[in-house]
Structure 1
Amino acid sequence: MAWSGVWVLGWLFGLVLAQSVLTVEMQQLCRAVKVMNSSLVFKERVHFMRHNMPINFTIKIHYEEVFKLRNVSRLRRNLQDQDLQDVDLQETWLRVNLGILKKIKNLLPRKHPSYNYTADLETLLLSVEQVFTDLKEQREPRESPERIGNIWEALATPLGKRRTEATPKSLLDNCYHTMLCVFHSCFPSVDYCQRAFWRNEKKAQVTPTPPLSSTDITTGKAGQ
């Protein structure tokens, strides 16, 4: 009987310790996400991804990389009986936006005024991914829903027929909006998953720059 009591106490201690580790890791994840958040404010997105880019400039991306709030809502609605969890949406967000930032950065010359901003965002996102991976390893292994796995598989393939084009600004808008939604535990005061909230997003006033030519993106003259 005494040994049973010791075993129970040991099990409870291990459970509390595991929860403490998860709490610390979650706090670290939220800190990393909030640093990313501070670099994705509206003024920065407009300045670096619109004013420093040629008019109507777009990049080729996977169809799945257009990851908006409505995509998050649709996945939650359609997979509600398939054990969809926040961690699945968070990992999808990470994979989508790491690919997007890599594509944008690869198109920009190092002297382009938006190159360092894009590279810094990629570094911040890699930091979020590292903490996220550490946290995921502390959890019980599980298989994500098939639909989520299909998205991840598509993102890992070369661009094919299911490709589209989008402006860098619109892609970073999606990154910002969905980040606040899928990491809602880090931003609990507002329901950022509601699209109606973003209709009232306060637009920062940024002085526009003169229109750019279609060759400015490769010469690095934009914004100079």
Structure 2
Amino acid sequence: MVQLSASTCLLGNLLGLLLLMPVLMAPTPPGLCTALKTLSSNLSHRRRYTKHNFPINYTIRVHNEEVFKLSNISRLKLEVEGLEELVLQRLWFQVNQGVLKKVLRVLPERHPSRPYIAELESRFRDAEGVFVHSYPTEALQGELPDSIQDIWDKMTEEPDRVPESSWRFASPKSLLDNFCRTMHCLFSYCFPSMDPQRNYCGVSHWKKGRKKDLQPES
């Protein structure tokens, strides 16, 4: 009787996993793509609002993990075998939530860039809301690989408990550059291109297309 119960439990777990797999393997939900494209459009103005309106070499203090580049994505994929894209997308939202809050926090009420960053944060929260409601709770609250959990824990630790060595300084412009590039990499389905060679996860793509990255501003 005990064996039957254990077998039934195992079968139930397997069925649950099979039902969840199509969700994890499905392309990015269309509603999320709409929200991310709006973010991408807003980010096209980042040079004006996060470079021209700041003193030369201006930087803010952020967690080491909040300087989240394409190279971080590549490294994590090499370190964690079979790392799911959904896990990296969850991490992307967590990282950039903190980045936008820190940039907004340093801007006085009358700073010319404050409305822009506030709008960007609002559009980001919209995208995060769509993301959260696009997947089952089990998919977004599942156990994270150790290396990802370690990053998550460091970013959510109380600031006064974070050692000085875990902080670094970065310019608002560089943080939003990372924000934009990693978004295109992790949600490339939302940004199709006529160029079959375009690789949003490649550093060379962004170096080669630096001017294209900064779309004409209205």
Separation of aligned partners in 2, 1:152 and 1:124: 22
Q: Where does residue 63 of structure 1 map in the other structure?
A: 64
Which residue does the alignment assign to 1:110?
A: 109
Q: Which residue of 1 aligns with 2:77?
A: 76
**Is 1:60–1:163's contact at 8 Å kept on the other side of the alignment?**
yes
How far residue 136 of structure 1 moved from its aligned partner, in angstroms, is: 2.6
Residue 64 of structure 1 aligns to a residue in which SS? helix
Moved over 4 A (4+): 22-25, 138-141
The secondary structure found in structure 2 opposite 1:70 is helix
Task: Give the equivalent residue in structure 1 for 2:150.
Answer: 150
SS of 1:96 mapped into structure 2: helix
Cα deviation for residue 25 of structure 1 reads 7.7
The TM-score with structure 1 as length reference comes to: 0.76
State the alpha-carbon separation in 2 of the partners of residues 174 and 121 from structure 1.
Answer: 14
Query: How far is 1:77 from its partner?
Result: 1.2
Identity %: 41
Q: Residue 100 of structure 2 contacts residue 117 of structure 2 at CA under 8 Å; is this kept in 1? A: yes
Q: Give the drift of 1:24.
A: 10
Are residue 169 (structure 1) and residue 177 (structure 2) matched?
Answer: no
Residue aligned with 1:191, SS = coil
* Structure in which a larger fraction of residues adopt helix: 2
Within-5 A mapping of 1:1-224: 26-41=29-44, 44-79=45-80, 81=81, 83-137=82-136, 140=139, 142-157=142-157, 158=159, 159-161=162-164, 162-189=166-193, 190-203=198-211, 204=214
Separation (CA, whole Å) in 2 of partners of 1:139 and 1:85 = 14
SS at match of 1:54: coil
Structure 2: distance between partners of 1:116 and 1:172: 15
Letter matched to residue 176 of structure 1: C
Bigger-Rg structure (1/2)? 1
Alpha-carbon distance between aligned partners in 2 of 1:139 and 1:153, rounded to the nearest angstrom: 20
| In 2: Cα distance, 1:53 partner to 1:146 partner | 38
CA distance in 1, matches of 2:125, 2:163: 26
SS in 2 for 1:84: coil
The 2-side partners of 1:119 and 1:35 are apart by 14
Output the amino acid matched with 2:142.
R
Deviations 1:119-172 (A, max 9, x none): 001001101111111123266563221111111111111143211000000000
| C-alpha contact (below 8 Å) 1:25/1:131 kept by paired residues | no
Equivalent-residue separation in structure 1 for 2:75 and 2:138 (angstroms): 26
Residue by residue, what CA displacement relative to the aligned partner does 1:88-114 show, whole Å, maximum 9, x if unpaired? 111111111111111111111111100
Q: Classify the secondary structure of the residue corresponding to 1:177.
A: helix
Amino acid across the alignment from 1:105: L
Structure 1 distance, partners of 2:26, 2:71, is 30
- The 3-state SS of whatever aligns with 1:56 is coil
Considering only aligned residues, what root-mean-square deviation do their CA atoms show, in Å?
2.6
Is 2:70–2:203's contact at 8 Å kept on the other side of the alignment? yes
